[in-house]
Amino acid sequence: MSEKLLTNFLEMMSAEKGAANNTIEAYYRDISQFLDFLNKDCSLTEEKDISAFLHKLAQQKLSSRTVARKISALKEFYKFLFSEGKIKTNPTAEILTPRLQKSLPKFLTQEEIQKLLQTADQENVFAYRRLSAMFALMYASGLRVSELVALPYNCINFSKKQLLVLGKGAKERFVPIAQTALDRIDNYLIWREKYLNGRYSPWLFPSNTSLSGHITRDNFSKNLKNLALKAGISPLKISPHVLRHSFATHLLNKHVDLRSVQKLLGHEDISTTEIYTHIVSEQLIETLQTKHPLATNKSDC
């Protein structure tokens, strides 16, 4: 019974709310973990069962972010059961989600971005031509890594310099592409044709070793860290998400308005984009260092 209700819940999240596959998989893992712990039909769940589960999670010393994700999954699941009339009371209604401390986004400098691109361009093999194109496209367009790796072959309109992206919740958006990124992609497509050697692939960034047929998020992340080592930059400083953060931060440093950045990133809520405004811009740092009275050697302040 519990498994069937879980399946119905996941189908609803996918069909009605357009949840991404990664989100569906996370819901399945987290709720299944609780149902295994519960060891009875989920319609019989009481608030004390939820509390006991949370106590077990606390003993495992999981991060507050992980616990918050699991609580969120359970809240959605039992809200669904309540709305479907499968339970009379919602056992998660009074359960509080731990407050998360938002950390400021990490980002690379423009000089580091250029150094990484130059290093990738030095290697004249398919893996690096693909990496160079993916790196440039992600930094130029601010894509999520899940969006980047699964781009279809026909997603780019070269004449309009636009990219059609399938984002979260299966929502499409058009993103402009800088000419330098288009040039790298154009060069990469010649290598892609040689790599496929007559085989068909619907993906812009195919891979012969992955089950999906396209390069995976993990492989792209590992390739980025190897590139950083080659460029003399700490691999701890770079990840796919850092590239996305760098895209947003550098635009705001150039005084691009927040609404435009929100649309480019595909954020549903502008509050998600506002975290970037907490990063002190390069211009403000320069202004402070050159204009503030204490920044000078004069003694007339």
**CA–CA gap between residue 63 and residue 101 (Å, rounded):** 11
Same domain assignment for residues 36 and 151: no
The answer to whether 282 touches 253, Cβ cutoff 8 Å, is yes
Mean pLDDT of the chain: 87
Same domain assignment for residues 245 and 198: yes
Same domain assignment for residues 127 and 58: no
75, 161, 237, 241: the catalytic one is 241
Give CA separation, 52 vs 31, 58, 64, 224, 234, in Å: 15, 10, 17, 41, 42
The answer to whether 166 touches 172, Cβ cutoff 8 Å, is yes
Q: Which range (90-104, 178-192, 248-262) has the least confidence? A: 90-104
Domain that holds residue 52: 2-83
Dihedral through CA 290, CA 291, CA 296, CA 300, nearest 10? 170
Report which of residues 135 and 290 the model is more confident about: 135
How many C-beta neighbours within 10 Å does residue 231 have?
18
Active site residue 55: no
pLDDT of residue 126: 95
- 297 within a domain of the structure (yes/no): no
Report which of residues 60 and 63 the model is more confident about: 60
161, 225, 263, 267: the catalytic one is 267
Active site residue 255: no
* Side chain identity at residue 190, one-letter code: I
**Rounded average pLDDT over 262-267:** 82
- Residue 156's nearest CA partner among 118, 184, 193, 128 is 184
69, 130, 244, 250: the catalytic one is 244
Active site residue 278: no
- 203 within a domain of the structure (yes/no): yes
Active site residue 130: no
Q: Is 0.75 topped by the overall pTM?
A: no
Same domain assignment for residues 146 and 233: yes
Active site residue 292: no
CATH number of the domain residue 36 falls in: 1.10.150.130
pLDDT of residue 163: 92
Count the alpha carbons within 13 Å of 137 in the hemisphere toward its beta carbon: 33
- 101 within a domain of the structure (yes/no): no
pLDDT of residue 16: 78
- 102 within a domain of the structure (yes/no): no
Same domain assignment for residues 272 and 124: yes
CATH number of the domain residue 143 falls in: 1.10.443.10
What pLDDT digit, counting tens, does each position of 265-292 carry? 887 777 777 766 665 555 556 666 776 6
- 242 within a domain of the structure (yes/no): yes
- 103 within a domain of the structure (yes/no): no
Same domain assignment for residues 169 and 265: yes
**CA–CA gap between residue 21 and residue 219 (Å, rounded):** 19
* Ranges 164-168, 226-230, 294-298, most confident: 226-230
| DSSP one-letter string for 61-105 | T--HHHHHHHHHHHHHHHHHHHHTTS-SS-TTTTPPPPPPPPPPP
Same domain assignment for residues 73 and 195: no
129, 144, 214, 245: the catalytic one is 144
pLDDT of residue 299: 46
79, 86, 106, 168: the catalytic one is 168
What pLDDT digit, counting tens, does each position of 92-127 carry? 988 877 665 555 567 888 899 999 999 999 989 999
* Side chain identity at residue 100, one-letter code: L
Active site residue 144: yes
